[in-house]
Amino acid sequence: MVINAGATSSDRSRRIKDFNDNVLRYSAHEGLKTFALQQIRKATYACSHLTDPSEPDALHDFRVAVRRLRTWIRVFKHYHNVDRKTIKRLGKLTDSTNRLRDLEVCRNWLDASGSEIVISPDGKQVLEILREKLNKDYEQELAAINTHMAADWEKLLVSLDKHLASGIDTDKTEDRLPNVAGKKILVICKSVDDQLALIHTIEDRGAIHKLRIYFKRLRYLLEPFRFQKPAIKEIIKSLKNIQDLLGDFRDAYVSSGLLATYQDKRINNSDNGRRDSENRANIIDNLGKHVRNMETERFERFRKLYVNGDFQQIIARIRMYGEELKSF
**Tens-digit pLDDT profile for residues 75-116:** 998 888 888 999 999 999 999 999 999 999 999 888 888 778
Backbone phi, psi, residue 56, to 5°: -65, -20
27: β partners: 176
CA distances from 246 to 116, 212, 250, 292, 294 (A): 24, 6, 6, 14, 12
CA distances from 35 to 32, 70, 172 (A): 5, 11, 18
| pLDDT the model gives residue 5 | 43
Residue 4 has pLDDT above 80, yes or no: no
| pLDDT the model gives residue 121 | 79
| pLDDT the model gives residue 268 | 40
| pLDDT the model gives residue 80 | 87
Residue 68 has pLDDT above 90, yes or no: yes
| pLDDT the model gives residue 267 | 41
Which residue ranges make up each domain of the chain?
A: 1-96+148-175, 98-146+176-328
Q: Residues 281, 259: contact at Cβ < 8 Å?
A: no
pLDDT band at 172 (very low <50, low <70, confident <90, very high): low
Residues 287, 118: Cα–Cα separation, whole Å: 8
| pLDDT the model gives residue 45 | 94
| Percent residues over pLDDT 70 in the chain | 87
Give 26's DSSP letter. Answer: -
Residues 108-135 have a mean pLDDT of 83
Residues 264-276 have a mean pLDDT of 50
- Please state, as a whole number, how many other Cβ atoms lie within 10 Å of the Cβ of residue 165: 15
Asked if the 98-146+176-328 domain carries CATH number 3.40.50.300, the reply is no
